[in-house]
Structure 1
C-alpha cells in the first residue's frame, strides 16, 4: 500500500516546514524502516537519529502522529489504524516531527544537552560512600534488586521529557526522566544518602513538586517505567518525613487528604484558606485570596455551603487502610 509521510523539516533557528514523501510499504514496516528508505531512495539530506533498531538504545525517539514514540517500535499498520482519518481516495498519512521541549539541530535531530544536564542534577548514581571498595562485593537480596526493575528499564529516549507540560512552562523543573532515575536511587539498598537525596528532590518546583500530574509521561513511555508513578513515590517519602508547615506544596497534599477524610471530597471553602493561608497563620497569604474570592462571589461561583459525600466513612476507611498497608511495607 502507498502511504504519505509528512516529515517536519527544520534547520536550527529556521522556520520549520512539512515535506511529503510517498512510499510503497507493508503494514508491518516500522517507522524507522520507512525513514531509512526515504533517506536512501528519495532524499539523502533528511536527518534523524538511529542505532539499535530494537527498542534498546532510545536513539530514534521522535513525535509520530503527534505523540513521542520510538520509530523502531511503532509500525505503519498500527499508526494508520489508530490515527489515520483520511477521506476516501486519499493516501493515508503519517506525520513525523522532532521531540518537543528541546531545540532542533536539523530535521528530526534535537539537542539533548539540557536533557542530560537535568539528569545530572538529581545525582543518578550510587553514593560515593557506597562505592568505596569493600572487603567483598556489595550483595543485594532478590527483593532489594527487584525494587530497581521498573526504573532500571529506562532507556533515556526522551519521550517523557518531550511530552512534559511542566518542562514546557517551567525551565527549572528537572523533568520526569530525571525523577524516575531519582526514585531508583531512593530505593537502592546500596545508597547511603537517602535523606540528602529527598531534600534535593524536595526543592520547590525544581523537584517533584513541579510535576503537574498530566500523565503524558506515563502514556508515552515505551518501557513502562511510569515516570509519574515514580515521582509520586518520592513525594510520599517526603510527605512521611515532613509536616504541613514545611512548605505550601506539602501542605497542599496533606490538606487535600485531610479534607477528603472529613467529607468524602474537598471542601473548596477551606482548601485555599488552609493551604495558602497556612491554617490562618499566614496573613499575607489570606489577603492574597481576597481578589479571587470577591470575583468568585460576584459571579456566583463561591460555594456558600458544603455537604459531605455519600459513603464518607468508607472513603475514610479506605484512606486509613492504604496508609496502614504503606506503613507495613
Structure 2
C-alpha cells in the first residue's frame, strides 16, 4: 500500500517545516521501519533516535499523528485504524492515507525528530531516584525484601524513560518548575521501597509548591500515552495520599484543597462553593490576605447573581459518604 509520511524537519534555532515522502509499505510495518526506509532510500539527512526496536530502550519516542508514542511499537495498520476512528472524513477527502511524525514536546529540538532531553534528565535527578540506606547499618550481604514488598515496585519499575509522558504533560508546558510525571512516578518507587530510609524527607521535597505533586493538573495524558502502563498519574496520587496522611489542613493551600473537597462532598454529596473558597483560600478565616483576595470575586458574583445564597445537599448523600468512608477505611 502507498502512504504519505509528513515529517517535521528542523535545524536548531530555525523555523520548522514539514517534508512529504511517499512510501510503499505493508500494514504490519512499524513507524520505525518506515523512517528507516526514508533514511536509507530517500533522504539520508533525516535525524531520529532508535536502538533496540523491541519496546525496551525507549529511544524512539516521538509524536505520531499528534500523540507521543514509540516508533518501534506502533505500526501502519493500527495507526490508520486509530485515525479512522478519530475522523472518517479525512480518509474520504485524501486518496492516500497520511502519517504525521513530529518530535516530542516540552523539549527543544536539536534536529528533526531529535530533542534535547536535558530538562527531562535533570528533573529526574531532582527527585533523588535511588534508594537511600544511609540511616541503616550496612548488612553483610544485601537488603532483603519479601515478595509482597517487591511487588509494590513492579509497575513503576517498568518505566523505560522514553519521554512520552513528559512530552504530553500540560503542567510541564505551563510551569517550568514542575519536575514532570516521569520523575514523580520514579519518586513513588522510592517512597514505596521498604529499603529506603529517607521517606519523610522525600515527601517534604515532593510536597514543595508546584514543583512536586501539587503541580500536576490531573489531565490523564501521561497515563494515556505511557507504552509500559506505568500510569504516572496513579503514582502521583499515591504520593499525595502519603503526604495528606501526614499533614494538617493548615499546612498549605494544596493540602487544604484536597482535604476540604473530600470533607464537603462527604457532608453534602457535592461541593458547597461558599465554604470551599473560604476554607481553602481563607484557611478557615485564618488567612486575612486570602480572604481579602476573595472579596472582588465574591462581589462580582453577587452583582451578577452567581453567588449561591443557600446550599442544598444532593440526593444520596448518605451513600456518597458511606463510599468515601469505606475507601478511607480500606486505605488505613
Hey, what does 2:158 align to over in structure 1? 153
Q: Does 1:66 align with 2:71?
A: no
Q: SS of the counterpart of 2:26? A: coil
- Following superposition, the deviation at residue 292 of structure 1 comes to 1.3
Aligned length: 327
Hey, what does 2:188 align to over in structure 1? 183
Q: Does 1:301 align with 2:312?
A: no
- Following superposition, the deviation at residue 130 of structure 1 comes to 6.8
Equivalent residues in 2 for 1:50-89, closer than 5 Å: 50-84=50-84, 85-88=90-93
Q: TM-score with structure 2 length normalisation?
A: 0.96
Q: SS of the counterpart of 2:319? A: helix
Matched-pair contact (CA < 8 Å) for 1:62–1:108: yes
Q: Does 1:311 align with 2:316?
A: yes
- Following superposition, the deviation at residue 303 of structure 1 comes to 2.1
Equivalent residues in 2 for 1:24-173, closer than 5 Å: 24-84=24-84, 85-88=90-93, 90-129=95-134, 133-173=138-178
Structure 1 runs of 4+ off > 3 angstroms? 130-133
Matched-pair contact (CA < 8 Å) for 1:130–1:190: no
Q: Does 1:208 align with 2:213?
A: yes
Q: Provide the C-alpha distance between the structure 2 equivalents of 1:99 and 1:128, rounded to a whole number of angstroms.
A: 36
Hey, what does 1:22 align to over in structure 2? 22
- Following superposition, the deviation at residue 299 of structure 1 comes to 2.8
Matched-pair contact (CA < 8 Å) for 2:171–2:215: yes
Task: Say which of 252, 268, 275 aligns to 1:270.
Answer: 275
Hey, what does 1:248 align to over in structure 2? 253
Q: Provide the C-alpha distance between the structure 1 equivalents of 2:282 and 2:49, rounded to a whole number of angstroms.
A: 50
- Following superposition, the deviation at residue 302 of structure 1 comes to 2.0
- Following superposition, the deviation at residue 128 of structure 1 comes to 4.2
Give the CA RMSD over aligned residues: 1.2
Range with bigger deviation, 54-63 or 288-297: 288-297
Q: TM-score with structure 1 length normalisation?
A: 0.97
Q: Provide the C-alpha distance between the structure 2 equivalents of 1:32 and 1:149, rounded to a whole number of angstroms.
A: 28
Hey, what does 1:226 align to over in structure 2? 231
Q: Provide the C-alpha distance between the structure 1 equivalents of 2:239 and 2:172, rounded to a whole number of angstroms.
A: 18
Hey, what does 2:265 align to over in structure 1? 260
Q: SS of the counterpart of 1:205? A: coil
Q: Provide the C-alpha distance between the structure 1 equivalents of 2:242 and 2:273, rounded to a whole number of angstroms.
A: 27
Give unpaired runs (5+ residues) of structure 1: none
Range with bigger deviation, 288-297 or 164-173: 288-297
- Following superposition, the deviation at residue 87 of structure 1 comes to 2.3
